[in-house]
């Protein structure tokens, strides 16, 4: 029986969750796991000032927190740095690495957790193997199903000198989820709306100038923030078909105690979008005063470093073995040539001796024949 997209996704998450539970049951420290955690975060894309994120699986250990994004679909082609990936049916979908990076940023921002304490893992179950490329983000891993079976333990077993209060941090996250209580339907609707706005931006100006974690302060009133709103308009005066238009509007516009004169900023192929291109967003990095994220060395990193070094040593050994074999061959060839030359020298020496003997005989005959010739005279 074939599964629909939702059922297939849930099945994939259960496969990964089973592997995770198997690993943490063998660890010597306490871990907490939560699945399908949905929570809101402030964003310019939110009609009411926020959109939502969903973490497929989150694992809390005493040393690190791991956020898993599971994809149970096969990609035709993908590039770790491209915002869109192509499925086998030709459909363009969001890059799961970018998705999970956004989840990490808002997770760390909401819980006030250093980014170095959070590891992101994207699991691509349908692709037999994943490209051997570095992720564009630090502390991020892209796994295939085989990787989950063979490498996951080396991630989750990683320890460090600094520790996390597992129970406290986990409860913080649970409290956030219970406080906001985002339904699956609300999250899906929010995600679809955001993707439609991103598609509109890409079609109008050719690139995405606003990240999902960005907010845009209103420069008119200095109090409110600009959020995406939408409205349906008739396509033509003669048609009853409506089309949706997206624009940025200030959250404080129209409030009695705030004199906001901000106009609507459209992102529309049929309207002037020059103002939209000049938008100056406030990034989540800036709002949290984040600097460069420190790279955490996991046990998996150490093993792969050693494996790589061993591979290089094996390659060098193979090269030296080939060189040695060639030198031995050259030596054998030189020895063969030397033996041949020795044989030639011995043969020439023998022939020279024979020649010397012949010369002596010839001289003897000359002397004998000379005496005979003189006697006859």
Q: What is the CATH number of the domain that holds 167?
A: 3.40.1350.10
- Tell me what pLDDT residue 344 has: 85
Examine the domain organization and report whether 178 and 57 are in the same domain. yes
The pTM assigned to this predicted structure is 0.81
Residue 44 included in any domain: yes
Question: Is 308 a member of any domain?
Answer: no
Q: What is the pLDDT of residues 231-269, one digit of tens each?
A: 776 555 555 566 778 889 999 888 878 888 878 888 887
Higher pLDDT: 365 or 108? It is 108
Domain termination residue (choose one: 143, 177, 204): 204
Q: Is residue 317 included in any domain, yes or no?
A: no
Q: Are residues 45 and 173 in the same domain?
A: yes
Out of 280, 300, 319, a domain closes at: 280
Residue 3 binned pLDDT confidence (cut-offs 50, 70, 90): low
Tokens (6 digits) for 343: 């044989």
Judge if 182 and 264 occupy the same domain. Answer: no
Residues 91 and 234 in one domain: no
For residue 236, what pLDDT is reported? 54
Of 39, 40, 43, nearest to 215 by C-alpha is: 43
Claim to verify: residue 93 and residue 164 sit in the same structural domain: yes
- Choose from 131-140, 171-180, 331-340, 347-356 the range with maximum mean pLDDT: 171-180
Domain that holds residue 235: 216-280
Q: In terms of domains, do 162 and 196 share one?
A: yes
| Domain shared by 224 and 199, yes or no | no
Q: Are residues 18 and 144 in the same domain?
A: yes
Question: In the β-sheet with 75-77, what is the strand arrangement from edge to edge?
Answer: 75-77, 84-87, 92-94
Q: Do residue 179 and residue 239 come from a single domain?
A: no
Beta bridge pairs of residue 216: 226
Calpha distance 301→17 (Å, rounded): 22
Domain boundary among 280, 309, 326: 280
Residue 89 covered by a domain: yes
Q: 140 with 251, same domain?
A: no
pLDDT on residue 354: 85
The count of domains in the chain is 2
Residue 9 in tokens? 């996704």
Do 22 and 162 belong to one domain?
A: yes
Say which residues have a Cβ less than 8 Å from residue 336's Cβ, sequence separation at least 6: none
Residue 342 included in any domain: no
Please give the average per-residue pLDDT across 93-118, as a whole number. Answer: 95
35 plus 116 within the same structural domain: yes
Q: What's the angle, vertex CA 61, arms to CA 60 and CA 62, rounded to 5?
A: 125
């Amino acid at each position: 029986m074939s599964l629909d997209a939702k059922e297939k996704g849930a099945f994939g998450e259960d496969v990964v969750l089973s592997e995770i539970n198997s690993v943490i049951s063998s660890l010597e420290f306490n871990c907490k796991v939560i699945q399908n955690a949905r929570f809101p975060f402030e964003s310019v894309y939110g009609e009411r000032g926020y959109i939502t994120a969903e973490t497929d699986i989150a694992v809390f250990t005493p040393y690190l927190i791991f956020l898993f994004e599971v994809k149970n679909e096969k990609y035709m082609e993908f590039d770790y740095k491209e915002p869109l990936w192509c499925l086998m049916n030709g459909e363009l979908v969001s890059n799961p690495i970018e998705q999970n990076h956004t989840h990490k940023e808002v997770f760390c921002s909401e819980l006030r957790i250093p980014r170095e304490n959070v590891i992101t893992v994207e699991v691509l179950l349908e692709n037999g193997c994943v490209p051997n490329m570095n992720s564009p983000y630090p502390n991020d891993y892209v796994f295939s199903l085989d990787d989950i079976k063979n490498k996951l333990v080396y991630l989750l077993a990683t320890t460090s000198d600094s520790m996390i209060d597992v129970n406290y941090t986990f409860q913080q996250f649970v409290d956030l989820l219970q406080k906001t209580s985002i339904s699956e339907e609300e999250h899906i609707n929010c995600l679809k709306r955001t993707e439609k706005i991103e598609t509109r931006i890409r079609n109008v100006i050719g690139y995405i100038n606003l990240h999902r974690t960005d907010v845009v302060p209103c420069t008119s009133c200095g109090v409110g923030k600009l959020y995406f709103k939408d409205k349906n308009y008739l396509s033509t005066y003669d048609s009853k078909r409506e089309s949706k238009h997206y624009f940025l509007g200030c959250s404080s516009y129209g409030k009695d105690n705030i004199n906001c004169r901000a106009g609507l900023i459209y992102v529309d192929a049929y309207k002037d979008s020059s103002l939209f291109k000049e938008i100056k967003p406030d990034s989540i990095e800036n709002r949290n005063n984040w600097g460069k994220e420190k790279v955490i060395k996991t046990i998996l990193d150490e093993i792969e470093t050693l494996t790589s070094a061993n591979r290089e040593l094996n390659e060098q050994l193979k090269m030296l073995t080939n060189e040695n074999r060639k030198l031995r061959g050259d030596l054998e060839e030189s020895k063969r040539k030397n033996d041949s030359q020795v044989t030639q020298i011995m043969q020439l020496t023998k022939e020279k001796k024979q020649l010397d003997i012949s010369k002596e005989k010839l001289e003897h005959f000359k002397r004998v024949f000379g005496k005979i010739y003189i006697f006859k005279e």
